[in-house]
Amino acid sequence: MPPILEVRRLRKQYADLMAVDDVSFSIPAGVCFGLLGPNGAGKTTTLEVIEGILKPTAGDILYKGQPRTAAFKNEIGIQFQHTALLAMLTVQETLQVFQSLYPAAEDLEHLVNRCQLGEFRHQRHENISGGQRQRFLLALALVNRPQLLFLDEPSTGLDPQARHNLWDVVNQIKADGKTIILTTHYMEEAQQLCDTVAIMDHGRIIAQGAPEALIRDHCEGVTVVLPRRRFTQAQGQPSLPYRIEGDTVRILPANIDDALRELMGLKIDLSEMTVQSPNLEHVFLNLTGRQLRE
Amino acid sequence: MAIKRIWVMFKARNYEFFRDKASFGWNFLFPFLLVAGFGILFGAREYVEYKIGVFPAPPGTLDTAAIEIPEGLKTTRFLQFVGFASQEAAVAKLRHHKIDLVIQAGPAPHLYWVSDSSHKGYLVEKILQAGLMPPEIPAAFRKGRVASAPIRYIDWLFPGILAMNMMFSALWGVGYVVVRYRKNGTLRRLKATPLTAFEYLSAQMLSRLFLLMFTLAVVWFGCDLIFEFNVLGSLADIFLMFFLGSLSLTALGLVLAARGVSEEFTTGILNFISWPMMFLSEVWFSLEGAPEWVRQLSQIFPLTQLLQGIRKITNDGATLVEVLPEMGILAGMTILFLSVGAFLFSWD
């Protein structure tokens, strides 16, 4: 069975800027695939070329093993990062308008319940909050019962509560068996939602795989973080590899048990110690030397 | 093409129009205020072509029976006599072209003053001199008469104001709104759906046509109740002509909406098109006597064709057969504009 989506050597060039440079990946049906990278990495452009909003400069895009046809639009759902909608309509009316544009439509009540729109379904969409708007835009993306769902930075600008709320909804959609492609620059979001992640930088994919595999392949293990003033009170010279960053000391032990035993042996006060597991942020840092949100 | 998609986009656009209360109200109020304003200014008063200052006389409009001026002048129609206390006061007004001629009241010989730079002064002087001609000179001419119903300025102007309102509403309601939707990303969102450009543009056009005809009907019958317009032709023909005009003007709006991404630039283009059209299509004044090239140029505007057809029906009682040339040109323009608009249209 072919992957639901296959992208081969995709390129998108604007004058002097190569926004997407030789990008290839393949997505099996039913997974959540994340494009992770900083702003300007080419994630949204990649997504919009696949969606058919932009024309590619070069490369192939196959949907279910075939080039995309006009029917492709009927089978995909899109949540844009920035969008505007028809003015002066309520949330429910807008959903009904979009339902009517497709040959097959999702049940309105199901959408309202799934995306938690009940409280504001009769309000004008211009008047709802940021979190409500993101859930509403997600409902719009689901209005045609898509097999492939594109979410472009779905939680950007949301407070932590609204973000977790949105993640719950996306996880339910995942559980329905839909294939999701999302872009994000939040490593936590990618780790929470994605089965596979492609990390993009300057229009290229620099690493690709399951989040755990990427972390395992590109990070050194846990990091022990201590206040520098505690570390300097050590009764003896530590043998652990460490580096000093301002007021903190970051220790990168090969084995956490051995490291803790050594630190206790040196009589260092560990009451302010934290142990950090590596994440996709560290993967990006190790690959590019930069933070994701720089 | 899916009728269902056109219908739903048509309804959505109408909701937007009817729910935007300020814009909705203004669409009706603006033409009504214009007609009412001109009706008050010109409707009830007798037509006046020339103003003649008379001194010494009480200030204000004078009753000719009460002043001593040449009899021929008194009996000439379309003259208004304005009183002044002194020669200086009257000549000052003449110098600023506020009046066209000054005459001293009293027995002959009559003293009068005209401005060398006033063409109206020149003509009213000729009227004054003609009034003093011996009776045998007019006898050398034979006069023919043409019977016609009186046409008030308001009767002539009313279709012009409605057509002008139609033009602005069509061009801005389609051209500007689609550009705004393109700029804010609404079109991009719709592009991601199965909606085609043809379906979208058709819905925009049909919605605007419906709103234009609805507005026209409300303003027409509302104003007619107050001003009792003289309409010699068929009302159905008038509305058919307006419908064709709406089609061509809305199609022109689609051409303007085809590519623009800047509201400021689109505003400039809309003004560039609508202002010459407003002044050269005889909305406010007739182009009779204008240079030939100006009259020829005015024929390229759909508003000119619309107004020529409408005025032929309303003022001359023309039938549809008699306005076939205008109808044909409007239909041709509609097809041309629609083709160009559809060819150029871009969602992005």
pLDDT digits (tens, 9 = 90+) for B312-334: 998 888 999 999 999 999 999 99
Q: Which domain holds residue B85?
A: 50-137
Distances in Å between the Cα of B75 and the Cα atoms of B64, B79, B80, B135, B190 are 9, 9, 11, 15, 71
pLDDT per residue as tens digits for the range B245-261: 999 999 999 999 898 88
Q: Flag whether A282 is in a domain.
A: no
What pLDDT is attached to residue A294? 54
In 3D space, the residue among B79, B90, B80 whose CA is nearest the CA of residue B112 turns out to be B90
What pLDDT is attached to residue B44? 52
DSSP SS3 for B102: strand
Q: Flag whether A272 is in a domain.
A: yes
B277 with B304, same domain: the answer is: yes
Res B1 pLDDT > 80: no
pLDDT per residue as tens digits for the range A156-205: 878 888 888 889 888 989 998 899 999 988 888 888 899 999 999 999 99
Residues in chain B closer than 8 A to A44 (CB atoms): none
A96 with A124, same domain: the answer is: yes
What residue type is B346 in one-letter code? S
Q: Which two tokens stand for residue A232?
A: 């300097």
pLDDT per residue as tens digits for the range A87-115: 999 999 999 999 999 998 999 999 999 89
B186/A84 touch (CB, cutoff 8 Å), yes or no? yes
What pLDDT is attached to residue B47? 60
Please compute Rg for chain B using Cα positions: 26
User: Across the interface, which of A51, A78, A101 has its CB nearest the CB of B8?
Assistant: A101
User: Which residues fall within 8 angstroms of residue A271, CB to CB, at 6 or more apart?
Assistant: none
Picking from A173, A196, A217, the residue at the C-terminal end of a domain is: A217
B263 with B182, same domain: the answer is: yes
A86/B195 touch (CB, cutoff 8 Å), yes or no? no
Compute the distance between CA of residue B141 and CA of residue A187 in angstroms, rounded to an integer.
Answer: 100
Q: Which domain holds residue A197?
A: 5-217
Average pLDDT over residues A265-287: 86
B176 with B210, same domain: the answer is: yes
Give the single-character DSSP code of B321: G
Which residues from A are below 8 Å from B when comparing CB atoms? 51-53, 70, 73-74, 76, 78, 80, 82-89, 93, 96-98, 100-103
Q: Which two tokens stand for residue B171?
A: 């061009």
What pLDDT is attached to residue B48? 67
Q: Which residue in A has a C-alpha nearest to residue B17's C-alpha?
A: A88
DSSP SS3 for A152: strand
Give the single-character DSSP code of A221: S
Give the single-character DSSP code of B323: G
A106 with A238, same domain: the answer is: no
pLDDT per residue as tens digits for the range B29-53: 888 888 777 777 765 555 667 899 9
A88 with A188, same domain: the answer is: yes
Residues in chain B closer than 8 A to A88 (CB atoms): 15-16, 19-20
pLDDT per residue as tens digits for the range B130-184: 877 776 676 677 778 776 666 677 788 888 889 999 999 999 989 899 999 999 9
Q: Structural domain tally of chain A?
A: 2
